């Protein structure tokens, strides 16, 4: 009997020290906080706050829509934006990528990309609705073409890839803009008209925002712009986004991370913390892989502060104990503090913070203590009367530590 409990004790200690994931490719840095967990799988999430609820749009067949009362969930799938295939006559029309939805002049607009891996034959499509609900949207087809299609030969469409749209309405001028891109020649911003078509469509007055001049691979994409006086911020994802199981894990730091630069003008130049221009390969990492748990965060967006709540940075990431397939990507988010005008993700509120034992460790530790008490009892070192209260007290102590 003693041997069995001792064996139990040894096994407990073994499981308590073993980590579920052991890859050297995942940074264990604590420089970035853990995410608040959205409790929903989402790659390239886009979130809109409307009517006291959150709506989440993500890449997927016909553009899936979810709704939740809080960012933490519970997220309910309520349908899709498109009723059918996208009307953009290109490949992969069934499964648009990286949608972005905005409420503009009493109408909802959904920009989406039609593309495929490694191809520049892409388009930014647009759908609109006077209600946000699935079943009410009209698809208007392509707004921007690259590779083939109307106007794909003009600058900057002739040097870019029409993916990852983002919408920005300048709060200072109320002018609307579309950002997109890209790999290839980086990320551009195009002025829109009031009904969200391209202003001056044959000669768009494009601003080049992000570019990596010296390297053959230019893995910048998934941009987003927000404004917090006095700065405009350009956010983007940099590095390998996905296909980790097919292509293998890149060296640490080459996977997706969330980067940024700022400017006092919506037209730039945007510079990072070291004053390096984003057109010169600059970009301060604001959020990257961390704690050996969070891998390749990107595909981000910002929810600008409402009332007393701070701005929210949301994104997808891979939880190393869930998996690395595209469908495994999880929604995560953090409040933002601005320090000297630079955004800093805030750690989740203390409940369940990284300093406290996880429930798994607590359970194992509890089991170990019970084994120990039982062994002591069995060897006659403590009396029958004190065994049960002791176990009870230990359980209470652990429950208290947890909270
Ligand atoms: C793109 O278009 C611009 C303006 O017409 C032109 O100067 C440039 O050479 C073109 N680039 C490519 C790669 O076709
Ligand atoms: C990762 O997933 C595990 C298992 O579902 C969960 O316990 C843990 O809290 C998650 N961590 C993060 C940072 O998502």
**Do 178 and 120 sit in the same domain of this protein?**
yes
Q: Give yes or no: residues 231 and 363 share one domain.
A: no
Cα of 37 to ligand 2 centre, how many Å? 8
State whether 385 and 287 are in the same domain: no
Collapse the DSSP code of 377 into the 3-class scheme (helix H, G, I; strand E, B; otherwise coil) and give the result. helix
Judgement on whether residues 251 and 308 belong to the same structural domain of the protein: yes
335 with 193, same domain? yes
Identify which has the larger pLDDT, 16 or 79: 79
Which numbered atom of ligand 2 lies nearest the CA of 291?
13
Q: Ligand 2: which of 293, 295, 334, 361 to mutate, most ligand atoms within 8 Å of CB? A: 293
- Is residue 302 domain-shared with residue 162, that is, in the same domain? yes
- Select from 154, 152, 85 the least CA-distant residue to 123: 152
Residues 202 and 99 in one domain: yes
- Name the DSSP class of 23: -
- Would residue 332 count as lying in a domain? yes
Helix or strand or coil: residue 24? coil
Pocket of ligand 2 contains residue 198 by CB under 6 Å: no
Domain membership of residue 293 (yes or no) is: yes
pLDDT at 49: 96
pLDDT in tens, 207-238: 999 999 988 888 999 999 999 999 999 999 99
- Which residues are within 8 A (CB) of 30 and not within 5 positions of it... i.e. 6 or more apart? 290, 291, 354
Write the residue with the smallest CA distance to atom 4 of ligand 1.
155
Query: Is residue 103 in some structural domain?
Result: yes
Asked if residue 191 belongs to a domain, the reply is yes
Report the alpha-carbon distance of residue 109 to residue 375 in Å, rounded: 66
Which letter, b or e, does each residue of 372-392 get, where b requires 16 or more Cβ atoms within 10 Å of its Cβ?
bbbbebeeeeeeeeebeebbe
Mean pLDDT is lowest, of 73-87, 163-177, 365-379, for 365-379
Answer with the residue of higher pLDDT: 354 or 9. 9
Prior bond to 219 cis, omega within 30?
no
Cis check for the bond before 182: say yes or no (omega within 30 of 0). Answer: yes
Given a contact cutoff of 8 angstroms between Cβ atoms, the answer to whether 201 and 149 are in contact is: no
Contact 259, 273 (CB under 8 A): no
For residue 397, name the pLDDT band (cuts at 50, 70, 90): low
155 lines ligand 1 (CB under 6 A): yes
How would you classify the pairing of strands 207-210 and 64-68? unpaired
Centroid of chain to Cα 198:
28
User: Are 238 and 275 within one domain?
Assistant: yes
What does the alpha-carbon distance between residue 233 and residue 252 come to, in Å, rounded to a whole number? 26
Question: Which bound ligand lies closest to the C-alpha atom of 157?
Answer: 1
Answer yes or no: are the C-beta atoms of 78 and 65 closer than 8 Å: yes
For residue 234, which of 194, 191, 267 has the smallest C-alpha distance?
267
Which residues are catalytic, by number? 44, 221
pLDDT at 186 over 80: yes
Q: Does 263 reside within a domain? A: yes
- Model pLDDT for residues 309-365, shown as the tens digit of each residue: 899 999 999 999 999 999 999 999 999 999 999 999 999 985 443 334 445 555 566
DSSP SS3 for 63: coil
Q: Measured between alpha carbons, how far is 164 from 222 in angstroms, rounded to an integer? A: 5
User: Are residues 341 and 365 both part of a single domain?
Assistant: no
Which one is predicted more confidently, 139 or 382? Answer: 139
DSSP assignment string, 185-247: T-EEEEEB-TTSSBSSTTS---EEEE---S-S---EEEEEEEEETTEEEEEEEESB-S-HHHH
Mutate-to-test residue for ligand 2 from 322, 352, 364, highest number of ligand atoms within 8 A of CB: 322
- Residue 20 CA to residue 403 CA, distance in Å, equals 24
pLDDT for 20 beyond 80: no
CB 229 within 8 A of CB 260: no
Q: Tell me, what's the pLDDT at 380?
A: 76
pLDDT at 15: 46
- CA–CA dist 367, 381 (Å, integer): 19
Same domain, 393 and 257: no
Q: Among 103-107, 344-348, 391-395, which stretch is predicted with the lowest mean pLDDT?
A: 391-395
Euclidean distance between CA atoms 106 and 274, whole angstroms: 41
Atom of ligand 1 nearest to the CA of 155: 2
Tens-place pLDDT, residues 127-148: 999 999 999 999 999 999 999 9
**Domain residues for 251?**
36-345
Half-sphere exposure of 55 (CA within 13 A, CB side): 23
CA dist 11 and 18 (Å) reads 11
Determine how many CB atoms are found less than 10 A away from the CB of residue 72: 16
Res 10: pLDDT: 47
Residue with tokens 């230019």: 218
Q: CA 259, CA 213: separation in Å to the nearest integer?
A: 17
CATH number for 82: 2.115.10.20
Q: Starting from the CA of residue 152, give the closest ligand.
A: 1
Q: Per-residue confidence at 61, pLDDT binned at 50, 70, 90?
A: very high
Please report whether residue 350 resides in a domain.
no
Element (H, E) at 13: helix 2-17
If asked whether residues 224 and 83 sit together in one domain, one would say yes
With a pLDDT cut of 90, the percent of the chain lying above it is 75
Q: Which tokens sit at 352?
A: 């369940």
Atom number, ligand 1, closest to the C-alpha of residue 159? 13
pLDDT at 398 over 60: no
Give residue-wise pLDDT tens across range 114-127.
999 888 999 999 99
Note whether residue 28 is domain-resident. no
Mean pLDDT along residues 76-92: 97
CA distance linking residue 170 with residue 192, whole number of Å: 11
- Residue 133 counted as domain residue: yes
**pLDDT value, residue 353:** 38
User: Residue 207: beta bridge partners?
Assistant: 189
Q: Answer with the one of 319, 345, 371 that is the final residue of a domain.
A: 345
From atom 11 of ligand 2, which residue's Cα is the shortest distance away?
319
Question: Is the model's pLDDT at 36 over the cut of 90?
Answer: yes
**Could you tell me the distance, in angstroms and rounded to a whole number, from the CA of residue 226 to the centre of ligand 1?**
30
Residues 88 and 146 in one domain: yes
Give the separation between CA 77 and CA 62, rounded to whole angstroms. Answer: 13
CB burial of 7-42 (b: ≥16 within 10 Å; e: otherwise) equals ebbeebeeeeeeeeeeeebbbeeeebbbbbbbebbb
Average pLDDT over residues 351-380: 59
Tell me, in angstroms, the distance from the centre of ligand 2 to residue 332's CA: 11
Q: Decide whether any atom of ligand 1 lies within 6 Å of the 151 Cβ.
A: no
- Number of structural domains found in the chain: 2
Q: What is the pTM of this model?
A: 0.82
């Amino acid at each position: 009997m003693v041997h069995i409990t001792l064996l139990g004790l040894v096994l407990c200690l073994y499981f308590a020290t073993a980590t579920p994931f052991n890859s050297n490719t995942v940074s264990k840095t604590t420089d970035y906080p853990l995410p608040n967990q959205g409790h929903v799988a989402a790659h390239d999430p886009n979130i809109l706050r409307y009517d006291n609820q959150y709506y989440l749009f993500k890449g997927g067949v016909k553009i899936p829509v979810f709704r939740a009362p809080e960012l933490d969930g519970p997220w309910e799938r309520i349908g899709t934006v498109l009723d059918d295939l996208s009307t953009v006559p290109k490949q992969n029309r069934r499964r648009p990528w990286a949608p972005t939805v905005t409420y503009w002049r009493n109408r909802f607009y959904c920009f989406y990309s039609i593309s495929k891996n490694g191809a520049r034959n892409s388009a930014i499509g647009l759908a609109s609705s006077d209600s946000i609900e699935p079943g009410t949207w009209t698809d208007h087809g392509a707004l921007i073409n690259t590779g083939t299609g109307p106007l794909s030969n003009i600058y900057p469409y002739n040097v870019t890839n029409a993916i990852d749209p983002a919408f920005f309405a300048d709060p200072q001028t109320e002018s609307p803009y579309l950002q997109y891109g890209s790999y290839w020649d980086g990320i551009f911003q195009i002025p829109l008209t009031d009904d969200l078509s391209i202003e001056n469509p044959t000669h768009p007055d494009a601003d080049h925002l992000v570019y990596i001049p010296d390297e053959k691979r230019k893995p910048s994409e998934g941009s987003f712009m927000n404004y917090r006086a006095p700065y405009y911020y350009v956010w983007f994802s940099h590095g390998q986004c996905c296909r980790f199981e097919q292509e293998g894990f890149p060296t640490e730091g080459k996977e997706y991370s969330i980067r940024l630069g700022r400017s006092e003008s919506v037209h730039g130049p945007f510079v990072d913390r070291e004053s390096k221009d984003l057109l010169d390969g600059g970009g301060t990492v604001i959020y990257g892989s961390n704690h050996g748990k969070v891998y390749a965060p990107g595909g981000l967006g910002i929810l600008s502060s409402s009332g007393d709540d701070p701005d929210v940075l949301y994104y997808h990431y891979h939880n190393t104990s869930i998996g690395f397939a595209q469908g495994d990507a999880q929604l995560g988010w953090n409040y933002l503090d601005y320090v000297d005008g630079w955004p800093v993700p805030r750690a989740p509120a203390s409940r369940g913070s990284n300093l406290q034992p996880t429930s798994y460790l607590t359970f194992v530790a509890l089991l170990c203590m019970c084994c120990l008490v039982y062994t002591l009892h069995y060897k006659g070192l403590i009396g029958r009367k004190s065994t049960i209260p002791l176990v009870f007290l230990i359980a209470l102590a652990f429950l208290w530590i947890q909270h």
